[in-house]
Structure 1
Amino acid sequence: MYRFLLTPRWWGINVFVLLAIPFCVFMGSWQLSRFEGRVHASDAATEQASSGRHGTARPLDSMLPVDQSTSGRRVTASGRYGKQLLVPGRRLDDRTGFYVLTLLRTDSGRALPVVRGWLPGTADAAKAPAPPAGEVTVTGALQASETPGDNGVSAQGGLPAGQTAAISAASLVNLVPDRLYDAWVTLDTADAGMKAVPATAPAGTGLDLKAFQNLGYTGEWFVFAGFTVFMWFRLLRREVEYQRDAELGLVRQEPEPEPEPVAGA
């Protein structure tokens, strides 16, 4: 009854199924590991951002460049405050307001963007307290440069003078004359009645759409594996039914075509 499984056609089907199922299972497991890795990275980054303020502050230059292992860590830097900018459209405690961003000129010759605090309402330079004069030492959480789309950051454009949409060297290069660090710091304790801005997890570590795409691909690959098995059993059942009907004479046998006469024979 099952001798048809040894035919070349079924050999090809069987080999395809035996290769397709492990491949689909492997791809589904790989996509699942990618999703689990993103979940782990998100949890670790969130924990680091929330606990980084309680760690020992280290010199700024020793923690650069900013990556997932240093983002949110406490750093210290010394210098003199210079140009001040506002960063509008920033939410804190379910309220919309703005950051007060001041450039700290360090002894290295570069300027460090320092978020001295957050104020509610529309960005207004008159509301922003002036930075302390003279030499200062700041302590706060190290943050990576922002890009449009990170943490709700909008694209630069159409803002009044003295304002910036993103905190990054690329956005600030045309607004300030100083050489800039490709990082910024949010103070542990805000200045002059402002509210301190908490550190955020670095971009790319949250459970974004890509993470759930990995989870969706996981399901798709396991569905493909199940569909392959289903189709194999369906073809097998149809072949068995065909063989049984043929044995009972229920299948009409088409006569074999007669060979054409050879010319000149």
Structure 2
Amino acid sequence: MVLKTAFKPRWILSLVGALLVATGFVLLSQWQFNRSATEAPPPVTTTEKPVPLTSHLKPTEVLMANQADQMVTATGRFLDGKQILVNNRLEDGRLGYWVVAAFKVDGAPDGNTIPVVRGWQPDETTPAPAPSGELTLTGRLLPTEAPVSRDPGKASFDSLSVAELINVWDVPSYSGFLVAGPVTGADGADHSAAASGLDQVTVGPQPQERQINWLNVFYGIEWVVFAGFAVFLWYRLVADDYRREQEDIADAAAIAAGLDPAAVYRDEVLLEAAHAESFQGAQPAAPTGQPGPTDPSNDISQNKDQK
């Protein structure tokens, strides 16, 4: 029996190894399935309620997906001479520029700043300077964009990359940026985009549905197939070992009976071939008056019909 062969010590150890490999493949499959669906963003009831920036995110932390899209408040002041334009920005279907300035946050360690999108303008003209003095603003916290290679002679930037702005402004910064909404001074004066001659940039909350990455799903299924193949390969090796044992037993019996094992094997092959030939030759008899399947008249009648 194959089961008896499977209980040999070497095949038991091989089975343990195959199960370990299969377990590894299943874990990889689970990892791929877990990565196939992105986490849904925080609910709107959470993100639309402003919280202090200093308590929501620390400058040394990477802005995670569950922290982004949050409305936050910050108090501080804009730094003089640290303002740029970011091109190819749509606002109400129009293509233009974001006006981005460095905002030093009160209460942030080491005097950290955060880039703030003050507003939008249609052309590349130099925008009005950022308002001075102590300011309090409310805005949406968004993750940094990837840096894009830029022509040094170009006035505007192609992306809002915090890492790039740290080098341009030579100041420490948070890992994200703010899209400003209401901005008020210490005296309550309005310093928002409209008061500065800019258009207000509107960024709504993220969609709440989860996204599926089908490539990760296919990878997960692939790892499951590999796990099954590892166990199947072990079974085939055991079956082959069992078949070799049976052949050795048959050869030993033939030698004990004074027979040549090769001749016995040849006779068995010839016997099987004869059985197959006799089975193929056994055809059912054709009904009386009708040509059989091998009757030449059948072919003649078919040829006449075709003509």
Same fold (TM over 0.5): yes
5 Å-filtered alignment, 1:177-196, equals: 178-188=171-181, 191-192=193-194, 193-196=199-202
Question: Against the structure 1 CA distance between its residues 234 and 24, is the aligned structure 2 distance closer, same or farther, given a 3 Å change threshold?
Answer: closer
2:71 corresponds to 1:71:
no
How has the CA–CA distance of structure 1 residues 92 and 198 changed in structure 2, closer, same or farther, with 3 Å as cutoff?
farther
Larger Rg: 2
Percent identity of equivalent pairs: 25
Corresponding residue SS for 1:19: helix
For 2:87, the aligned partner's letter is P
Indicate if the aligned counterparts of 2:25 and 2:226 stay in contact, CA closer than 8 A.
no
Instruction: State the alpha-carbon separation in 2 of the partners of residues 240 and 177 from structure 1.
Output: 74
SS at match of 1:170: helix
Question: Which residue in the other structure is 1:227 paired with?
Answer: 229
Give the distance between the partners of 2:162 and 2:56, measured in 1 at CA.
17
What SS class does the counterpart of residue 151 from structure 2 fall into? coil
Please give the TM-score of this superposition, normalised by the length of structure 1.
0.64
Residue 10 of structure 2, aligned match among 4, 9, 12: 12
In the superposition, relative to structure 1, how do residues 228 and 113 fare at CA in structure 2: closer, same or farther (>3 Å)?
closer
2:168 is paired with a residue whose SS is coil
Residues 242 and 101 (structure 1), Cα distance of their counterparts in 2 relative to 1, 3 Å cut: same
**Counterpart Cα distance in 1 of 2:4 and 2:261:** 16
Distance (Å, rounded) in 2 between the aligned partners of 1:76 and 1:97: 26
| 1:197-208 to 2 correspondences below 5 Å | 197-198=203-204
- Assess, with a 3 A threshold, how the Cα gap between structure 1 residues 194 and 159 changes in structure 2: closer, same or farther: farther
Q: Find the counterpart in structure 1 of residue 48 from structure 2.
A: 54
Q: 1:3 to 1:84 in 2, by over 3 A?
A: closer
Q: CA deviation at 1:85?
A: 1.0
Q: How does 1:1-265 map to 2 (within 5 A)?
A: 1-2=1-2, 5=5, 11-33=9-31, 35-36=33-34, 39=37, 42-44=38-40, 46-47=41-42, 52-55=46-49, 57-65=50-58, 66=61, 67-68=63-64, 69-81=66-78, 82=80, 83-90=82-89, 97-107=96-106, 109-118=111-120, 124-125=124-125, 131-132=130-131, 135-144=134-143, 146=144, 150=145, 153-160=146-153, 162-176=155-169, 178-188=171-181, 191-192=193-194, 193-198=199-204, 212-213=215-216, 215-245=217-247, 246-247=249-250, 249=254, 251-252=261-262
What displacement does 1:124 show? 1.5
User: Cα gap change, 1:234/1:27 in structure 2, threshold over 3 Å: closer, same or farther?
Assistant: closer
For 2:56 and 2:98, the matched residues in 1 are separated by: 24
Within 2, Cα distance between the matches of 1:197 and 1:61?
21
| CA deviation after TM superposition for structure 1 residue 139, in Å | 0.3
Greater CA deviation, 58-67 or 160-169? 160-169
Unaligned runs of 5+ in 1: 254-265
Matched letter for residue 57 of structure 2: L
Distance 2:32 2:6 in 1: 40
Q: Post-superposition shift, 1:114?
A: 0.6
Corresponding residue SS for 2:19? helix
Change (3 A) 1:119 1:31: farther
Cα drift, residue 6 of structure 1: 7.1
Structure 1: how far apart are the matches of 2:129 and 2:221?
55
Uncovered stretches (5+) of structure 2, i.e. residues with no partner: 183-191, 255-259, 264-307
Question: How far apart are the structure 1 equivalents of 2:200 and 2:27?
Answer: 49
Report the secondary structure of 1:142's partner residue.
Answer: strand
Instruction: Describe the shift of the 1:105–1:227 C-alpha distance in structure 2 as closer, same or farther (beyond 3 A).
Output: closer
| 1:84 partner amino acid | Q
